[in-house]
Structure 1
């Protein structure tokens, strides 16, 4: 049984000086297999409604150190909800990576959930060679099809033309009844393309996606996985965005992928060995 060293809350300093709430869990020194950073989705925090904490606990049992942090404007981190931007989240993720490389044991992997995939994928031009593995949980891959020209029920409800008129008038939109999405981030969404750097990346990647996701498109995930060598899609049959009653399956897929030895092989793909 894995024995943990003391778990602790800490504060990371983002590149522009904002303090980010974070939590680190580490197994005993002799059992450490590597470090995993968890990047949560929008409206959530480092615990992601309990799901991220469950992932961290299972990774701890498997011998991984974990670093979970709340992006600016989320949870107990500094910053305001309306001030959250993609550019700011890029700085926050960079700060988390810098901390993990300096303070925790490698190799380094990232688990990026929902909107957390945006900053993660956009960081791949400098991050790719530092990563051992990548996991994308119900990821936002196509910003236009999720927010600008939404295809899912959630997107249509929150980003209809009428709602965008409200955004113009008041400067923010209330998302899920709890999070104030500001005008600046919505403008950024029109210009960023997370898929382009992902397709150019070589880090072995697992996408875990429910086929009944009402927030991000399952078809986008399937199409992206098909286009990208070194990417496996794990379909959670019958699951919505939160994985609902299928959380155990989703967590097990994450842990199994991060523990899988190299080289990686599966039907339709060549062996992958980044060493």
Structure 2
């Protein structure tokens, strides 16, 4: 996915660092991602979700809140309310580029922030929270014994995620005074709540309270064994899949008509896992699949192999071609199924004198219905007129260039 490194002014004028992940094709919608407390825009879950959404035609802006990651400012001077103000600054930046966000995604305390901010963003149509607390004050549980020191001296150093942060009294008082019940009840937008039952940072009961306070349309999906940061590739992939499938119901993702030279549009393929072979395959905003290699060949077996997709294309085209012919003839064909297997055979086995190996596809067609022998034989002949069959039998021309 193309990524722009951008900056914009935060709530108090500090320069905030951001990444704008853009789709390769037409821009159909924009999402704004708010990261978890003391995290950054570059955590694995944020990257994976952004990649999945951008492949659907949804641009994703993920930024570092004031004083975190690569953004300027003092984290010690921030509060929950200032995070909400940073979200509004990010939304205003997008609006200045005619990309006002229609989807908000918030992780942990970022989820609480998007719930608070959404009411003041008229462009937003849908909201997703991941491991979000119902009460922002929940985050103070991570401060332990430092709370008494903060109360008495005004601030204290707290170790979070192995890093020291200065937390001030203003922050503690601000989150303690924040109640999201009314904001959630008045969202008037579609809401998706993602949470893991084993989340030991923000308990699953928070998801139940958020879901209970919200009005329909609302959805809740469990993240099963995921940790709070959704740190494993498998869990991040699942979250990305769920969000993308859900968002498609509430965002207008109708792409413009494809160019005449590409009547079915562009199929985009991009790596989903640089350590293995997993690939994202997207044909427009609604059609997504995963390609991979079997475990025996170094893959993770999360999708069909490239030859599996080639076989699927042949089988699908065969079935469609048979159905079209039988429908036109009015024949009693009740059901078609096609079994495809692929192998490499020596060219001489196919009367080819090159001596090289060639691809061999074995196709077994199953026809159900009250068909006579002549009709069945004719449908077998029609199978060979399938366009993909013809493409595979004749040489094709592939042009390749560097972008």
Please give the TM-score of this superposition, normalised by the length of structure 2: 0.57
- Spell out, residue by residue over 1:54-108, the C-alpha distance to the aligned partner (whole angstroms, 9 max, x if none): 1111111111111111100111111112112122212211111011122143562
Residue 101 of structure 1 aligns to a residue in which SS? helix
Is 1:71 equivalent to 2:65 in the alignment?
Answer: yes
Residue number in structure 2 paired with 1:21 = 17
Q: Which has the larger radius of gyration?
A: 2
1:8, distance to aligned residue in structure 2 (A) = 1.4
Is 1:217 equivalent to 2:200 in the alignment?
Answer: no
The CA RMSD over aligned residues, in Å, is 2.2
Is 1:11 equivalent to 2:7 in the alignment?
Answer: yes
Residue 111 of structure 2 aligns to a residue in which SS? helix
Is 1:164 equivalent to 2:157 in the alignment?
Answer: no
Q: Which runs of 5+ in 1 are unaligned?
A: 149-154, 264-275
- Spell out, residue by residue over 1:136-157, the C-alpha distance to the aligned partner (whole angstroms, 9 max, x if none): 111122134x245xxxxxx3xx
Kept in 2: contact 1:43–1:178 (CA 8 A): no
Kept in 1: contact 2:66–2:72 (CA 8 A): yes
Aligned counterpart for 2:159 among listed residues 174, 187, 197: 174
Is 1:133 equivalent to 2:126 in the alignment?
Answer: yes
Kept in 2: contact 1:210–1:218 (CA 8 A): yes
Residue 117 of structure 1 aligns to a residue in which SS? helix
1:53, distance to aligned residue in structure 2 (A) = 1.3
Say which structure, 1 or 2, has more relative contact order (CA 8 Å, 6+ apart): 1
Is 1:260 equivalent to 2:282 in the alignment?
Answer: no
Residue number in structure 1 paired with 2:230 = 243
Q: Could you tell me how far apart the structure 2 residues matched to 1:31 and 1:24 are?
A: 15
Residue 27 of structure 1 aligns to a residue in which SS? coil
Q: Could you tell me how far apart the structure 2 residues matched to 1:19 and 1:244 are?
A: 28
Q: Could you tell me how far apart the structure 2 residues matched to 1:39 and 1:185 are?
A: 18
Residue 74 of structure 2 aligns to a residue in which SS? coil
- Spell out, residue by residue over 1:174-226, the C-alpha distance to the aligned partner (whole angstroms, 9 max, x if none): 32331413322111111111232011111101011001111112112123213
1:166, distance to aligned residue in structure 2 (A) = 3.1
Q: Could you tell me how far apart the structure 1 residues matched to 2:154 and 2:124 are?
A: 41
Is 1:231 equivalent to 2:218 in the alignment?
Answer: yes
Residue 207 of structure 1 aligns to a residue in which SS? strand
Cα distance change, pair 262–96 in 1 and its aligned pair in 2 (3 A): closer
Residue 65 of structure 1 aligns to a residue in which SS? strand
- Spell out, residue by residue over 1:6-47, the C-alpha distance to the aligned partner (whole angstroms, 9 max, x if none): 42111111242111001112124x532200111111111111
Kept in 2: contact 1:21–1:69 (CA 8 A): yes
Kept in 2: contact 1:124–1:198 (CA 8 A): no
Q: Could you tell me how far apart the structure 2 residues matched to 1:174 and 1:39 are?
A: 22
Is 1:60 equivalent to 2:45 in the alignment?
Answer: no
